[in-house]
């Protein structure tokens, strides 16, 4: 598992970005920002934000697959 841990400051920043940026922000290793018509811009932040699952999809495959992979 990746050893990326966000600090308290990052979390606050991410809370802000989650709201202030118009669309979801995606990350897998690098931060990908999508703002208005600007799509998929990489930013060198080794943290987060998402885009895929909504509550309705919680039982759907992506998350559960991710968990089952780590099932001992």
Partner 1 sequence: MDGEHLIYLYCVMARPPDLQSVEGPPGGLYLVHEVGLWAVVSQVEASQFGPSSLRRNLEDLDWVVAETTKHEKIVEAVMRDRCVVPFRFATLFHTDESLRTRLRTHAQEFMTLLEELEDKAEWGVKVHCDVEGLRSVVRAQDGSMSHLNEALRCASPGKAYFLEKKRGDLAIAALGDRIDRCVGRVVETLQTVSFQMRINKVWFPRATRIHDSMILNAACLVGNDNVRIFVDAANALKAHYADQSVLVEYTGPWPPYNFCDLARQVANG
Interaction site with partner 1 (CB under 8 A): 1-6, 10-11, 13-22, 24, 26-28, 31, 33, 35-38, 41-45, 47-55, 58-59, 63-64, 66-68, 70-71
Q: What does the block give as tokens for 16?
A: 């802000």
Residue 63 sits at φ, ψ, to 5 deg, of -70, -45
Q: Closest approach of Cβ 23 to partner 1, in Å?
A: 9
DSSP assignments along 22-52, one per residue: SS-EEEESEEEEEETTEEEEEE--S-----S
Q: Closest approach of Cβ 41 to partner 1, in Å?
A: 4
Q: Closest approach of Cβ 60 to partner 1, in Å?
A: 9
């Amino acid at each position: 598992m990746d050893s990326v841990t966000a600090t308290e400051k990052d979390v606050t920043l991410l809370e802000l970005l989650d709201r202030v940026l118009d669309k979801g922000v995606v990350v897998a290793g690098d931060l990908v920002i999508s703002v208005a018509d600007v799509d998929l811009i990489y930013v060198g932040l080794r943290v987060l934000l998402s885009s895929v699952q909504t509550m309705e999809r919680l039982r759907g495959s992506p998350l559960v697959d991710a968990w089952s992979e780590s099932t001992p």
